[in-house]
Amino acid sequence: MSITLGSAICENTEFVQHSISVVIYLAVKHEDGEDNQSSPTMITSSSFGTHEGKEVTQYTLKNNKGTVIKILNYGGIITNILVPDKNGKNGDICLGFDDMKGYATNGPYFGALIGRYANRIANGRFTIDGKTYQLDINNGPNALHGGKVGFDKRLWDSKVVGDVLELTYVSADGEENYPGEVKVTVRYQLTEDNELVIRYSATTSAKTVINLTNHAYFNLAGQGSGTIFDHNVTINADKYTPVDSTSIPTGDISDVQGTAWDLRTKTNIGEVIHSVPGGVGYDHNYCFGKTGWQKYMARVEHPSSGRFLEMYSTEPGVQFYTSFYLNETGKGGAAYEKFGAFCLEAQHYPDSPNKPNFPTTLLAPSETYLQTTTYKFGVM
């Protein structure tokens, strides 16, 4: 069935039903149900260590163009994305860790599948049908990315179905204090067009809130290559949601025109990042049109390597984050520094459960949450 979501500036139509399925593809499915590419992607698997006594598996997806994407069944984490530069040399553009020791804590949420609620909920509190639910506070005064043990820190069931990696997880009623048992499926597929399409669906046994995303950190020069000041960004949005001092939206949906948030034309990140009010660069939600249809959201380019990344999604928003708080030792001992990566996180707006004018994140037992997000990699 389909329902109409709450809207302010942006109208949003959400498709819902009764369970949670998260699907990640590297191919776009059209309305007629057919994939845009048939992909001969090869998927292999190997052990990535253990977590709480259980084996963690790393799956490697490789297409005929030599693109390689590696994904864990722990947290649905994308650990590696190897794509060619303009000279045909592959480089890993995804930040992460070398082993499970790093991912077991994973403070930055490198590459992770985030849920039940991506981004922030003010004071960790929301109300459904007159009942208030109190979540753990794990980010200043707020709840962030699903709680202390969100979907990013769970071991998912996994299987390979043809050229698709499928992950499933059942989130128990009351897990992290969220109501309802939620069932999730995630599928990852790699095409010859070097598209990573992330397709989500979700159902629940009781009314709950849901907001799912992937938290990959990208540096198109290669992970550990310093700041992203030499990257150019375009975000195809007229509106954004201003935030307070704790990064909670004020409730306004504002024009980007004439502000540091106006990235509608290609903009060098290094030239504008220090002009963003607040002093921490970009960590803001951009507003798009209706939910349920695939929209061109963003493009990031790295002129020196020739690499670009484009993003498309059925979600009403995207969080553009330029990693001000990054300070980690990553893969191969690389030093990940402030402004050393960017994230493009497809999402509903932060704190939507407490903002009735935002697109709704409420999911009922008769409904199904659906999302498709595509990352396309290429060379200019």
Give the whole-angstrom CA distance, residue 77 versus residue 360. Answer: 27
Calculate the CA dihedral of residues 34, 196, 91, 106 and round it to 10 degrees. -160
Q: Identify residue 112 by its one-letter amino acid code.
A: A
**Is 145 known to be catalytic?**
no
8 A C-beta contact, residue 360 and residue 199: no
* 133 annotated to a ligand binding site: no
Tokens 């109190």 appear where? 134
Nearest CA among 308, 300, 297, 262 for reference residue 371 = 297
Q: What is the pLDDT along the chain (380 residues), one digit of tens a residue?
A: 333 333 333 433 333 333 333 334 333 333 333 444 444 789 999 999 999 999 999 999 999 988 999 999 999 999 999 999 999 999 999 999 999 999 998 999 999 999 999 999 999 999 999 999 999 999 999 999 999 999 999 999 999 998 899 999 999 999 999 999 999 998 888 989 999 988 899 999 999 999 999 999 999 999 999 999 999 999 999 999 999 999 999 999 999 999 999 999 999 999 999 999 999 999 999 999 778 888 999 999 999 999 999 999 999 999 999 999 999 999 999 999 999 999 999 999 999 999 999 999 999 999 999 999 999 999 99
Give the whole-angstrom CA distance, residue 63 versus residue 44. Answer: 12
Candidates 51, 215, 231, 348; catalytic one? 215
Give the whole-angstrom CA distance, residue 239 versus residue 227. Answer: 27
- With 0-12 CB in 10 A as exposed, 13-18 as middle and 19+ as buried, what is 31? exposed
Q: Identify residue 259 by its one-letter amino acid code.
A: T
The encoded tokens of residue 307 equal 């690499």
**Is 345 known to be catalytic?**
yes
Candidates 166, 176, 345, 367; catalytic one? 345
* 217 annotated to a ligand binding site: yes
* 283 annotated to a ligand binding site: yes
* 260 annotated to a ligand binding site: no
- Give the 3-state secondary structure of 64-94: CCCCEEEEECECCCEEEEEEECCCCCEEECE
Give the whole-angstrom CA distance, residue 237 versus residue 297. Answer: 7
Give the whole-angstrom CA distance, residue 374 versus residue 324. Answer: 25
